[in-house]
Structure 1
Amino acid sequence: MIDIGLDSPAQEDVRLLLEEHLADMYAASPAESVHALDHAGLSRPEITFWTARENGSLLACGALKEFPIGADGAKEGELKSMRTTHAARGRGIAGLLLAAIVCEARGRGLSRLCLETGSEDYFAAARRLYVRHGFTECPPFADYVPDPNSVFMSLELIPVDLP
């Protein structure tokens, strides 16, 4: 059984997965185009962090960063640090985790969920995952600027009440 739940990015197994994630990001993209966060960055108050585990073993992680978009208190979210372990790839774990984060973002009343990923071939599988879940390309959001090494995507959210 796959358990998706809130977790700490400071957990030893999570930190190791995030370090692997960062190393891969720097290997695939120029340093100025890497926007991934380390475990300390993912521990900030505006970020909620989840893991997917099976029998306690880490399978994947992902995070939701909230940010205001206007003086009226409206908020959007950014998907951060989606990563699946090598052993768990191809099992649909990323899709399960992404669906859980999208559901939470809707439940929080966020108007849109955005993300930044790479434009290189290395990121093609991630881009296909996001498209399968309804994300479409969009202009840079929040503090991002146009970058040929980045693809920006978003999903408009219709708020729903969570049980």
Structure 2
Amino acid sequence: MAPPIAVETPLQDDIRQMVAKLNAYLTPLSPPEFQFQLTVEQMAGADATVFVARDDDGTAIAMGSLKVHDEKTGEVKRMFCEPHFRGRGIGRAILTAIEARARDVGLQRLVLETGATPGFEPAWALYERGGFSVCPAVLDYPDSEFSRFYEKSL
């Protein structure tokens, strides 16, 4: 069973550390110009909601965020789970929380951009199991061989 998921500010040391780990993982997988990473300061904006899972000791072990673009469209951003906690349904629980929030605020569509190179297979599986479908480029992302785009109608 996945731990509880809570809305938290990303402006915490442990969330900053998790974002740094995510960035370190992503950096070698795609050229810098095709990496679209929100900073914790951007994640703390009024248009974003950050969801965090913590273990029994209170340590942050996973995160994800919803960025609202307009009255109809939200974007899944910054999904990450500590490697030794993967495979326990935590990513799916965070994705479910993001979707629930999107529905609560009246969004009609969730989209996301992820990498299209080796190393992103677990992300593809998570999104596809969550009901997302591959789609053409979304929002203002460039269409390239380094990005894969997903969407889900709510």
- Asked if TM exceeds 0.5, the reply is yes
- Aligned partner of 2:34 in structure 1 is 33
- Aligned partner of 1:65 in structure 2 is 67
Instruction: Specify every segment of 5 or more residues in structure 2 that has no aligned partner in the other structure, as ranges.
Output: none
Residue 145, structure 1, aligned to residue 142, structure 2: yes
Matches for 1:2-151 after TM superposition, within 5 Å: 2-55=3-56, 56-68=58-70, 74-151=71-148
| Secondary structure of the structure 2 residue equivalent to 1:140 | coil
The alpha carbon displacement at 1:75 in A equals 2.1
Give, in whole Å, the separation in 2 of the partners of 1:155 and 1:16: 30
When the two chains are superposed, the root-mean-square deviation of aligned CA atoms in Å is 1.1
Instruction: Specify every segment of 5 or more residues in structure 1 that has no aligned partner in the other structure, as ranges.
Output: 69-73, 158-163
Deviations along 1:34-85, one digit per CA (max 9) or x if unpaired, are 01212112112111111011221212000000012xxxxx320000000001
Count of matched residue pairs: 152
Give the % identical residues: 36
Say which is worse superposed, 123-132 or 53-62, in terms of deviation.
53-62
| Secondary structure of the structure 1 residue equivalent to 2:4 | strand
| Secondary structure of the structure 2 residue equivalent to 1:9 | coil
TM-score by length of structure 1 reads: 0.89
Give, in whole Å, the separation in 2 of the partners of 1:127 and 1:85: 17
Question: 8 Å contact 2:51–2:97 — kept in the other structure?
Answer: no
Give, in whole Å, the separation in 1 of the partners of 2:38 and 2:21: 12
